[in-house]
Amino acid sequence: MDTQVKSYEVRTLKSTDVRFERVGDTLAMTLSDGNITVYYPWVVVRSCFPVSDEKVFLSVRDATTEEQDEIGIIDDWTTLREADREAIAAELGLYYFVPQITGVISVKEEFGFLYWTVGTNKGPKEFVMRDSVVHYTREIGPGHYLIIDVNQARYEIPDIGALDAHSQKLVRLSLRL
């Protein structure tokens, strides 16, 4: 019987000790901690606060294991070398693709679902969300919302007040604001 105990201590990774590089479609990391250098051929990075502050507290995880064990936390990845920042930015861009809603064309309610047709900063989009706005909408700040569709894709409304009057009305009705 394996009685291995996992450690849950937070390990801070210093910007001077890590190097990141894109290798094909994956992100690799070299960690030099004192006299020991470890190469991780496949890591994933996840922002601990992806909506409120994506620049601080970045979790680096070993993607070669099913559990994706955490290697450590980078306090502020913008302090890394430029090449490292570029590699991380590319990885985060793939994972955190969150279009910003710039206008709402229509919202149709049918059979417990809301069918949205919107304009975004990434072009026109259509998505479906469950009609349970409590579970699928997050208020990030005053007038700043995150909407989660049935496929767990996310859409952001940075400021409801910045939308046109028609869009504001549809958002307020649909999200019951």
How confident is the model at residue 2, as a pLDDT? 47
The alpha carbon of 115 is separated from its chain's Cα centroid by a whole number of angstroms, namely 23
Name all domains of the chain by residue range, CATH numbers in brackets: 18-95 (no CATH), 101-174 (2.40.50)
How confident is the model at residue 1, as a pLDDT? 44
How confident is the model at residue 60, as a pLDDT? 93
How confident is the model at residue 176, as a pLDDT? 83
pLDDT in tens, the chain (177 residues): 444 545 567 888 998 999 999 988 889 999 998 789 999 999 989 888 765 666 678 999 998 888 888 899 999 888 999 999 999 988 887 777 789 999 999 999 998 899 999 999 989 999 998 887 667 888 888 999 988 888 778 899 999 999 999 999 999 989 888
- Of 72, 82, 115, 118, nearest to 98 by C-alpha is 118
| Cα–Cα dist 150/110, whole Å | 14
Residues in the chain: 177
